[in-house]
Amino acid sequence: MSNDLLEVDPIAGQGEIMEVSMGPHHPSTHGVFRMDVRLEGEKVVRLKPVFGYLHRNHEKIAEHGAYLAAIPYTDRLDYLCSMTNNWGYCLAVEKLAGITVPERAEYLRVIVAELTRFQNHAGLVGFLLQDMGASGTPLMYAFREREKVLDLFESLSGARMMCNYMRFGGLRVDATAAWLDEVRRLLPALPRFLDEFENLLRANEILMARTQGTGRLSRELAVSAGVTGPMLRASGVNYDVRKVDKYGIYDRFDFRVPLGDHGDVYDRYMMRILEMRETVKILEQALRGIPEGPIMDPKVRLRGLRPKAGEAYGRIESPKGELGFFLISDGTTNPYRYRVRPPSMINLTILEDMCLGQNIADVVVTLGSVDIVLGEVDR
């Protein structure tokens, strides 16, 4: 957090430079996030993201507690996607301690993770359109669907957002047959929502004018800057951790990875829509294949887990990008080092590169297409 922008250096031969501090309390910044923007007329000539307002040193808190104690805290990282956060952390602990997961638990993990992806993308698309001035309606349509998923999470885990559902070695509670039927009943409604959304918006003139060619990100810069998730694939790089690592049981499902071409906001918007369609496909296959059986490895000691001294890095494809956890064990009950790889924060690295030379109104749209959650950026 620096104030060095206050010392304006005049740029010779050009117009008047204006400093604007966008945020931290601005509805389009999706939380307490600030951008120090330097403008020449309406054009952005410099932009520095400033964050840390929600910093609570999550990593230090986790290093002070047992391995089990960190799971509820991971819910609060990306508070829209607690299920995938749980999975990323549990995967890292499983790698560190060599724990296996029963088959039924793997299927349930895929089901809840894909439902999470659906509701995150639906919400993001709604917010993005809201940022563009489509007041209310698209967001309400998206939230109507998100609500159905959150109801399912509530009946499964007891909480709508802070689910605290997974454990290393399995899951906290089993899903009933009635719950699985609920999911099966919901599935046909999801493509209908997507069709409706696309009919309204795909060829919408205002949407296309505002997003096509806005916030371009080249393929080379995206790879070098470690951008992951739908944002990377919108720039045309075929990299999805579900396909590359095949963690869990993702090698059993037939799904495609949508790729963009231009790397602009429109492509990023379409990536989310297309990924939601693939998500529905994965859900159908998982619900068909889910077996009966235990949901927890009975040999795992949840309390007082003491992995051998060593380290492990586990990563998953969260809705925002590659979510990784890096753990170092010194043989005691607490992790010696606990580190989160936050996709939201790393995707912000190139925000300035995408916004330079654009109008200030497009900064809002570009930021909206990055999909950040400040609980994860600031940790």
Q: Whole-number minimum distance, CB 346 to other proteins, in Å?
A: 6
User: Least CB distance from residue 34 to other proteins, whole Å?
Assistant: 12
Closer to other proteins by Cβ: residue 260 or 307: 307
- Distance from C-alpha of 47 to C-alpha of 29, rounded to nearest angstrom: 14
Using a 10 angstrom Cβ sphere, with 0-12 exposed, 13-18 middle and 19 or more buried, the burial of residue 234 is: buried
Q: Is 203 exposed, middle or buried (0-12, 13-18, 19+ CB in 10 A)?
A: exposed
Residue 309 contacts residue 97 (beta carbons within 8 Å): no
Cα separation, 123 vs 372, whole angstroms: 12
Residue closest to 323 by CA, chosen among 91, 69, 97: 91
Residue 311 Cβ vs other proteins, minimum distance, rounded to whole Å: 6
Q: Choose between 80 and 222: whose C-beta lies nearer to other proteins.
A: 222
Give min distance, CB of 9 to other proteins, in A.
16
Q: State which residue, 165 or 325, has the beta carbon closest to other proteins.
A: 325
Strand partners, 312: 327
Report the nearest approach of other proteins to the CB of residue 40 (Å). Answer: 21
Helix, coil or strand: residue 62: helix
Nearer to other proteins (CB atom), residue 124 or residue 346:
346
- Report the alpha-carbon distance of residue 108 to residue 164 in Å, rounded: 14
Minimum distance, C-beta of residue 179 to other proteins, in the bound complex (Å) = 33
What per-residue string of b and e applies to 258-289 under the rule 16 or more CB within 10 Å gives b? bbbeebbbbbbbbbbbbbbbbbbbbbebbbee
Mapped onto helix, strand or coil, the DSSP state of residue 55 is: coil
Minimum CB distance to other proteins, residue 310 (Å): 3
Residues within the interface to other proteins (CB under 8 A): 1-3, 51-52, 55, 57, 59-60, 95-98, 221, 223-227, 237, 239, 244, 307-313, 315, 322, 324, 326, 328-329, 337, 339, 341, 345-346, 348-350, 378-379
Q: Cβ distance 235 to 222 under 8 Å? A: yes
Q: Which is nearer to other proteins, 213 or 226 (CB)?
A: 226
Q: Which is nearer to other proteins, 17 or 223 (CB)?
A: 223
Q: Decide whether 54 or 125 has the Cβ nearer to other proteins.
A: 54
